[in-house]
Amino acid sequence: MKKPVIAIDGYSSTGKSSISKIIAEKLGIVHLDTGALYRGITWFALQNCTDKDGNISLPKLYDSFPVISLEFKRDEDELVLYVNQINISKEIRTAEVSDHVSFIAKQKEVRDFLLETQRSIARNGGVIMDGRDIGTVVLPSADFKFFLTASIEERTRRRYEELLALGLEAHIDQVRENLIERDRIDSEREISPLKKADDAIEIDNTNLSKSQTIESILYHLKKIN
């Protein structure tokens, strides 16, 4: 039997990636965190494609597309993103990348560049992919679609603790502002905005633990099957 294709979209810091990773392990399928791709391109742009004032130059970034290699390698039980053979899993979580990623992600050229990478991973089924436009644009015919939400207070607390656990510097007010600003840009952009697919199941996990959210998703998967 073909393994399922599951799309998980939602607001920043609703736990999409960590929840998807555990569900992937339980179902024996692959997990792809598409936010890592947008963060990876943003990291690359900040390193290599700035103008004389230090701002990201989009033309320089687009000219670099042919030399950017994006690879997911298996590291223990995780798929880890390598940009041009460099493991940047920690670098892509910094405040600098978080502050620029939604600007990069709203560019049509960037979204077009990353679309095929995402779709090719789902081609043979057996994947849970999390992001903002997976159920609406990347995999519109996914077998299952979920949309996660939670209050801004709860999401701020989770992201702040996640950054501290990674050993990164974090200020709670800045974390909150960044989440609000990214959600605004992601929801208002013209191309592939963050929005719930009509056929997605919405789960507000403000008052749910990670394992309760996972249980809820698994319950829906069984019910639909």
- Known binding positions for ATP: 10-18
Nearest distance from residue 62's CB to ligand C5P, in Å? 17
Nearest distance from residue 220's CB to ligand C5P, in Å? 21
Q: Which 38-57 positions form the footprint of ligand C5P (CB under 6 A)? A: 38-39
Counting contacts by CB under 6 A, is residue 105 touching ligand C5P?
yes
Give bridge partners of residue 204 from the DSSP assignment: 149
Amino acid identity at 134: I
Counting contacts by CB under 6 A, is residue 159 touching ligand C5P?
no
Backbone angle region of 210, left / alpha / beta, with phi > 0 → left and psi within -120 to 50 → alpha: alpha
Nearest distance from residue 93's CB to ligand C5P, in Å? 8
Residues 6+ apart with CB under 8 A from 187: 193, 194, 195
| Integer Cα distance of 64 and 83 in angstroms | 12
Counting contacts by CB under 6 A, is residue 101 touching ligand C5P?
yes
Q: Are 220 and 212 in contact (CB under 8 A)?
A: no
**Cβ closest to ligand C5P, residue 136 vs residue 221:** 136
**Cβ closest to ligand C5P, residue 49 vs residue 158:** 158
Stretch in the footprint of ligand C5P (CB under 6 A) among 66-74, 79-87, 98-106, 166-174: 98-106
Tokens of 200: 């997605």
| Integer Cα distance of 133 and 157 in angstroms | 24
Stretch in the footprint of ligand C5P (CB under 6 A) among 22-30, 49-57, 79-87, 130-138: 130-138
**Cβ closest to ligand C5P, residue 119 vs residue 223:** 119
Selected from 15, 40, 131, 135, the binder of ligand C5P by CB under 6 A is 131
Query: Hunting for tokens 């095929």 — which residue is that?
Result: 116
**Cβ closest to ligand C5P, residue 133 vs residue 214:** 133
Helix-then-strand count for the chain, H and E: 8, 8
Q: Which 174-193 positions form the footprint of ligand C5P (CB under 6 A)? A: 182, 186
Q: Are 139 and 125 in contact (CB under 8 A)?
A: no
For β-strands 127-131 and 5-10, DSSP reports them as: parallel
Binding site for ligand C5P (CB under 6 A): 12, 34-35, 38-39, 101-102, 105, 131-134, 182, 186
